[in-house]
A and B are shown apart, each in its own frame.
Chain A
Amino acid sequence: EAGVAQSPRYKIIEKRQSVAFWCNPISGHATLYWYQQILGQGPKLLIQFQNNGVVDDSQLPKDRFSAERLKGVDSTLKIQPAKLEDSAVYLCASSLARGVGEKLFFGSGTQLSVL
């Protein structure tokens, strides 16, 4: 079974530039998550999709971050304009969404450095 695919693996940009990350979840997984992990901290949920719809984006800085999930499969996360504090690893995860106790499967992440 193929895992969660993410790209790019690394990205270096200057502040005020824009960047986009891509995620392809495990086939059949209805729920897709984007987490931000700053060095030394735990993953922080940015946005959660259930199929096509957003179920939680309460911690997404909507003035600069946006995300979409096309046809309930692939997803992109965009930052525009980037700030220095956006330097982090962006993790995409997916789960089956069949009830309590969902196990999350993570992609390899995108390490973003904003200079």
Chain B
Amino acid sequence: QKEVEQNSGPLSVPEGAIASLNCTYSDRGSQSFFWYRQYSGKSPELIMFIYSNGDKEDGRFTAQLNKASQYVSLLIRDSQPSDSATYLCAVNKNSGGYQKVTFGTGTKLQVIP
């Protein structure tokens, strides 16, 4: 079982729709959760992070965390063509005194104009 699992996609949504990206993780000791966006040929950039169960909203982005189900999601409202990218889920835990960050394989999102 992979430590962090994502559907590779592509996930295609029409412009203006809500895009829903999902991620599951295997280690119950995981403590914090991140969503990075990676445009083709570019490096990942952080867009959202969440530590506690529930929802966290930032503009058009909402991160949702359910530790009991070991599930993290990212909702993008009013999707724009500029949101087309690969979204990487990353999971962080304290491991022997240092922070271990593990990435999923990413979900490719295509927003159709």
Contact = CB atoms under 8 A, between A and B. Distances in A.
Nearest to B45: A106
B98 A100 contact: no
Interface stretch (A13-21, A42-50, A66-74, A75-83): A42-50
- Tell me the interface secondary structure of chain B in the complex: strand
Interface residues of B, number: 31
B100 A109 contact: no
Residue among A41, A45, A48, A102 facing the most chain B CB atoms (10 A cut-off): A102
Given A42-B105, A107-B43, A56 B49 contact: no
B13 to A, nearest CB: 21
Contact of B51 (A44, A95, A97, A101): A101
Interface in B26-74: 31-32, 34, 36, 42-46, 49, 51
Chain A: interface size category: 20 to 34
Contacts of B42: 108
Given A108-B43, A109-B43, A102 B103 contact: no
Given A56-B98, A91-B43, A101 B103 contact: no
B112 interface: no
A106 B44 contact: yes
A42 B88 contact: yes
Contact of B44 (A40, A43, A45): A43
Given A41-B105, A42-B88, A43-B88, A103 B100 contact: no
A106 B46 CA distance: 9
B17 interface: no
Contacts of B92: 100-102
7 contacts: A44-B103, A55-B97, A56-B100, A91-B44, A100-B99, A102-B101, A106-B43
Interface of A: 31, 33, 35, 40-45, 48, 50, 55-56, 91, 95, 97, 99-109
Given A55-B97, A101-B92, 7 more contacts: A42-B4, A42-B106, A44-B103, A56-B98, A97-B99, A106-B43, A106-B45
